[in-house]
Structure 1
Amino acid sequence: MYPVDIENVTVAYHKKPVLQDISMQVPEGKLIGIIGPNGAGKSTLIKAILGLIPRASGDVSIYGKTYSKQRKKIGYVPQRGSVDWDFPTNALDVVLMGRYGHIGWLKRPKKSDVGLARICLDKVGMLDYADRQISQLSGGQQQRVFLARALCQDADIYFMDEPFVGVDAATERAIITLLTELKQKGKTVLVVHHDLQTAEDYFDWILLLNLRKIAFGPTEQVFTIDNLQKAYGGRLAFLKDKVMVEGSQG
């Protein structure tokens, strides 16, 4: 039974398909990068899996059941730009939100829940900011807090939408270290990622996407120049055996 099983998923906006006929079976305990050009449907795929947007067709199962029956098994880190950072709450309370699936929305967190939230903040280097309003944190610090919230859920599957965007190098290293630790614990982690320079180093498996599935499998099999050209078309430049999207930096 696969952590995520996607069959013939199509998503359309205003009758225009933005994802077409996506099928794949996600293996357990892998760190998986979802990669493709802007507008390829990467974030849309995650939202379709999680039921955040309607699917025009197709089915998704989480360990053989619908998402609604498996919510506790899933942790989700959305794009930072989609979050209302002016909401009046502190970092510790944000992380405690990750426990609500276990304790219920109307029940108060136990001391053990608060203790776990503090441990998760400590893991991402944010324990000293537990009482700080999230609006007062930098972009990298906010991302660390949301990662701590996902850790606090103690999920089996994690979906992360562009977690490295807008963070400094130290935060990026901290995030990839934590994702690797999750994988080593047998968790399945799917990450929307845009930097082709780091993709080979970061991920065990890669999904190359451009409205349709271009390729999905172990990184050494999928991350080839042929597949990248199929995904990105003529927007690739090749420098010293490295591949980058034309117009990008670094």
Structure 2
Amino acid sequence: MKRIHSPVSIRDLSVAYHRKPVLRDIQFDAPEGKLIGIVGPNGAGKSTLIKAMMNLLPLTSGDVKIYGKPYKEQRDLVGYVPQRESVDWDFPTSALDVVLMGRYGKLGWFRRPKAADREFAMDCLDKVGMADFAKRQISQLSGGQQQRVFLARSLAQDARIYFMDEPFVGVDAATEKAIIRLLNELKAQEKTVLVVHHDLQTVREYFDWLLMLNMRQIAFGPTSWVFTADHLQKTYGGRLTVLPELPDPVAVTR
């Protein structure tokens, strides 16, 4: 019988910066076609995990498999939306050109995009409500508009797995709704999406599965199972804040 591989499979993953442990013993198999939130306090290693899964950081131990193979063999299956603060928004390029960059994984770096690629990129911009801004310099866009452009770029990668690092930070309500709509469209296409997220109030509404992280893996599974007062206490500790949608008061760090 042919084995069916998980979109993302992590075994005993540990990462250290300057010999200081940042992540320890992370292990999970991401189910296909789910929206998976990654939550934890500042410094918990959420962004580090995303970068480690994409082979952007060396691992102290463990490994990451994308559909059963190392990331370097499957990079064309992965789309990425980085944190806005990590992007040079003054770089002189248009929104359309940014989205076209997402096509290079399919084209190869030395082949010029064709008319079909430009049409595909425009369609991606249209899906995030930015088609009218295709020729606009990215430095002239608002924060929410810039985030939409980078979402369109990830769509242009035509991936099966998407890693998104804090896509909701600093965006307006309309952009947040556009992002959620897009995530659900990806889910409907059986894509797997892992999202670093900070707003605990929207976790149960937005995500099917949840990874709760604080340097170590606290819990991983369907959101309805793992988003509990006990797991939140273990993940966040700290000052008390009541989350009214949970049956019990929950200790979290604001």
TM-score (norm 1): 0.96
Task: Note if contact 2:201-2:243 (Cα within 8 Å) is conserved in structure 1.
Answer: no
Matches of 1:122 and 1:227, distance apart in 2: 39
1:230 aligns with 2:247: no
CA contact (8 A) 1:33 1:205 kept: yes
Instruction: Show CA shifts across 1:102-141 (max 9, x none).
Output: 1111111111100000000011010110000101111100
Contact 2:23–2:216 (CA<8 Å) still a contact in 1?
Answer: yes
* Letter in structure 1 aligned against 2:47: S
Report the Cα distance in structure 2 between the residues aligned to 1:111 and 1:240, rounded to whole angstroms.
Answer: 52
- Cα deviation, residue 53, structure 1: 1.0
SS in structure 2 at match of 1:70: helix
User: RMSD of aligned C-alpha atoms?
Assistant: 1.1
1:221 is aligned, of 218, 225, 242, to 225
Tell whether the 8 Å contact from 2:232 to 2:251 is kept in structure 1 after alignment: no
Count of residues in Structure 1 that have an aligned counterpart in Structure 2: 247
Cα 1:44–1:138 shift into 2, 3 Å: same
Letter in 1 for 2:27: S
Q: What's the counterpart of residue 75 of structure 2? A: 71
- How far is 1:13 from its partner? 0.8
Give yes or no for the alignment of 1:85 onto 2:78.
no
Conserved? CA contact 2:165–2:196, under 8 Å:
yes
Alpha-carbon deviations, 1:87-112, whole Å to 9, x = none? 11100000001100111111111111
For structure 1, list consecutive stretches of 5 or more residues without a partner in the other structure: none
Tell me how far apart the structure 2 counterparts of residues 134 and 11 of structure 1 sit (CA, whole Å): 34
Question: Partner residue of 1:8?
Answer: 12
Whether the aligned pair in 2 keeps the contact of 1:75 and 1:158 (CA below 8 Å) is yes
- Whether 2:37 is the aligned partner of 1:33: answer yes
Aligned to 1:111: 115
Using the alignment, how far apart are the partners of 2:21 and 2:234 within structure 1?
19
- Match of 1:99? 103
The equivalent position to 2:205 in structure 1, one of 194, 201, 209, is: 201
* Residues 166-216 of structure 1: CA deviation (Å, up to 9, x unaligned): 000110010011001101100000000000000000000000000000000
- Confirm or deny: 8 A CA contact 1:161 1:191 kept in the other structure: yes
How many Å separate the matches in 1 of 2:53 and 2:10? 8
Indicate the SS of the match to 1:163: coil
Match among 126, 147, 160 for residue 143 of structure 1: 147
SS of match in other structure, 2:232: helix
Structure 1 counterpart SS, 2:219: strand
Note the residue ranges of structure 2 that are not aligned, 5 or more in a row. Answer: none
Q: Structure 2 counterpart of 1:104, which letter? A: G
Secondary structure, aligned partner of 1:86: coil
For 1:187, the aligned partner's letter is K
The verdict on how the C-alpha distance between 1:189 and 1:71 changes in structure 2, with shifts beyond 3 A counting, is same
Query: What aligned pairs does 1:27-66 form with structure 2 within 5 A after superposition?
Result: 27-66=31-70
Offset of residue 14 of structure 1: 1.3
Q: 1:210 aligns with which of 214, 217, 223?
A: 214
Q: Distance in 2 between matches of 1:190 and 1:198?
A: 15
What SS does the aligned partner of 1:24 have? strand
TM-score (norm 2): 0.95
2: CA distance between counterparts of 1:112 and 1:127?
A: 16
Q: CA deviation at 1:245?
A: 4.2
How far apart are the structure 1 equivalents of 2:210 and 2:156?
Answer: 26
**1:182 counterpart SS class:** helix
Distance 2:6 2:244 in 1: 38
* Distance in 2 of aligned mates of 1:105 and 1:26: 30
CA distance in 2, matches of 1:73, 1:239: 37
Instruction: Sort the Cα spacing of 1:176 and 1:90 in 2 relative to 1 into closer, same or farther, 3 A.
Output: same
Shift >4 Å, 4+ stretches: 242-246
